[in-house]
Amino acid sequence: MAILGSDFIEKAEAVILENISNEQFGVSELADAMSMSRSSLLRKIKAHTKLSANQFIRQVRLTKGMEMLRQTTSTVAEISYQVGFGNTSYFIKCFREQYGYSPGEVRKGTVADENLSEQTTFLNRYRWHLISAVALIVIFGSVLLFGKKRTVSAENKMDKSIAVLPFKNESSDTLNLYFVNGLRESVLNNLQKIGDLRVISRTSAEKYRDTDKGIPEIADELNVKYLVEGSGQRVGNQVLLNVQLIKASTDQPVWGEQYNREVKDVFALQNEVARKIADAINAKIRPSEMDQIEKKPTGDLLAYDYYLKALIPYNTRTKEGLAEAISLLKKAIGQDSQFALAYAYMAFSYYYTDLYQKQKQYTEQINNNADKALLYDPKSAESLMAKALYYMQVKEYRLAVPYLEKALEYNPNSSPVVQMLSTLYASDIPNTTKYLTYALKGIQLDIAAYDSITKSYIYLNLSNALIQNGFVEEATTYINKSLDYNPGNYYSPMLQAYIQYAKDGNIKQTQKRLTKEWNKDTTRLDILQEVAKFYYYGEEYNQAFHYYQKFVKAREKYGLDIYPQEDVKIARVYQKMGLDEQAAQFFKAYAGYCEKDQSIYKSASMAVKYAYEGKNDKAIEQLKVFATQDNYQYWILLFLGKDPLLKPLKNNAEFRRTIQKIKNRFWKKHDHLKKILENKGLV
């Protein structure tokens, strides 16, 4: 399976293949195995392959994954872990970027061999990059939130931290695996409802399904004090389950039990296990939490069976897997028409099927299933999350927040809910304070669980949150960590250029840094418009036009609705180049964007609009409105005064006072936030 004919590359590939299932095997480990310095390894791989070392390792893993898809019957999830990806969704993302097709399409034989090349079309590759670039969010990184309104100390919370490892299937029948997985899923879900516990997400613990690592090592990587191990099987109408709670520091069980129950008692069994685990580590269960734990999802065991079977394809997040999950969930609902959990997962499945489609097809199905889930169980985190996804689908982001916040009351350890809130506060409902708080908690709770590439993106996310709140030095620390873990990180160099600008204010140097990054991949529209923007700020309109023109053509060619807030800058540049008619069209588009904008930045955007029109008094009035806002990004302070459109206002005393008020309000909020985070031990 050699990638190139070079002896060096063949040897490197052989070493990677020997360690293929070890997701921790990265650049440093490869350098050690080949008796080379890290820098020598990086240079040689780059010289032979034009790839970074991380990209080379990932390519070997993906090539092996393709081989296994063609030659084995293993599931996509199983293969992802066998080739060293700790997260199935990330494996699918990388696979699609590499080949232009999902693993599921290859598995089903819907892709011709001649089309399975390493080259992808622009849209196949670019849509993933676009999503990450706009939000600078790690969509595949799990973060957890402490229970709301709780004042438990960090030390006590750590004492009650727990991860539920994958249960082992003791049956020789592999079809029994879904039932054993379901037992583990339900025990985990019940524990997550206890606010006095910190419970690691399923996806974070899933990587240890077939591990040879010992309990202390796993606990250290997951940053928990306790681990739950289990094994079981279903024999006819009997459920056999062995489960134990292990304290990591002693590697000894503190509680364990063997169960032999009838299938009809499976819900009571799952609830009992969760209660006994909580009791063993002195976790307090509030009455409302006990109500949630004791609630039966359905009274129909066949419906529950279909639901458990649906979880396996659902968790792949592939188009094919989601379709299979929907089919099984429909069968579950056919058995029990009031099965709220099945309706919720139907909504989830339709949402993720539609997620990357420009033309949404399943909005009505998402809403209908979410409403039925709420009708039959309004106090379920899943029901509430389903309705939130509907509002996210139709871009009514503020309406999603109350449902997500309520979901956290019922399940304070719900990683999916926290991920959604993090995404919303980062981009759709900008709130720098909440964004940073979620990012910091994510680092504190889960960072040890991930491979080097995922860590790189998590640190990128944290650095982005820090710089948005004016923590320049801290942002520098984490963007450097991001690049240390993965020098080939697609977005870190762009953010690093901005952080450096925050430190030195040098427009010329930032132009050079961004242009250098864009030249590495000229399909990067995110960097392209940033390059153009810095020439605009420097009032170098010829250069700005050169890059904006490329951006506009690409945006039109691929039908992309991106960066509408930049249209006013494009309008001014085109106007400066004598292209008045085109400039008018861009300004009209920008005016439409301002009218639709529901974010805290609307008044700032309107100020720029009025400045473009020469309505300076109205521009200042809008800036006064913006000066009453909170939680705006640090970039406002850095760039508002640099905008050539506002240059005619600089001699206006009222304008200067307003700008100073905006700055003072930001730094007052910054200092207050810093004290809060220091008291919580987060910075």
Residues 319-377 have pLDDT tens digits of 899 999 999 999 999 999 999 999 999 999 999 999 867 789 999 999 999 999 999 99
Cα-trace Rg, the chain: 26
> Residue 409, exposed/middle/buried by CB under 10 A (0-12, 13-18, 19+)?
middle
The whole-angstrom separation of Cα 579 and Cα 568 is: 14
Helix spans in 167-214 (H): 177-192, 202-206
Q: What is the pLDDT of residues 624-651, one digit of tens each?
A: 999 999 889 999 999 988 999 999 999 9
pLDDT of residue 127: 34
DSSP label of 147: P
The arithmetic mean of pLDDT across residues 288-298, rounded, is 91
Share of the chain above pLDDT 70, in %: 88
Domains of the chain by range and CATH?
7-120 (1.10.10.60), 489-674 (1.25.40.10)
pLDDT of residue 552: 95
Residue 7 pLDDT > 60: yes
pLDDT of residue 663: 95
Residues facing residue 245 across a β-bridge: 228, 255
Residue 154 pLDDT > 70: no
Confidence category of residue 174, pLDDT binned at 50, 70, 90: low
Between the alpha carbon of residue 509 and those of residues 341, 415, 506, 538, the distances in Å are 54, 40, 6, 11
Asked whether the beta carbons of 86 and 213 are under 8 A apart, the reply is no
Output the 3-class SS for 223-262. Answer: CCCEEEEEEEEEECCEEEEEEEEEECCCCEEEEEEEEEEE
Residues facing residue 235 across a β-bridge: 238
The arithmetic mean of pLDDT across residues 648-671, rounded, is 94
Residue 148 pLDDT > 60: no
Q: What is the mean pLDDT of the chain?
A: 84
Residue 382 pLDDT > 70: yes
pLDDT of residue 183: 85
Q: What is the pLDDT of residues 416-453, one digit of tens each?
A: 787 788 878 887 888 888 888 767 766 655 555 456 77
Asked whether the beta carbons of 142 and 275 are under 8 A apart, the reply is no
**What is the pTM assigned to this prediction?**
0.60
Q: What is the pLDDT of residues 131-143, one digit of tens each?
A: 333 333 332 222 2
pLDDT of residue 444: 55
Residues facing residue 240 across a β-bridge: 233, 260
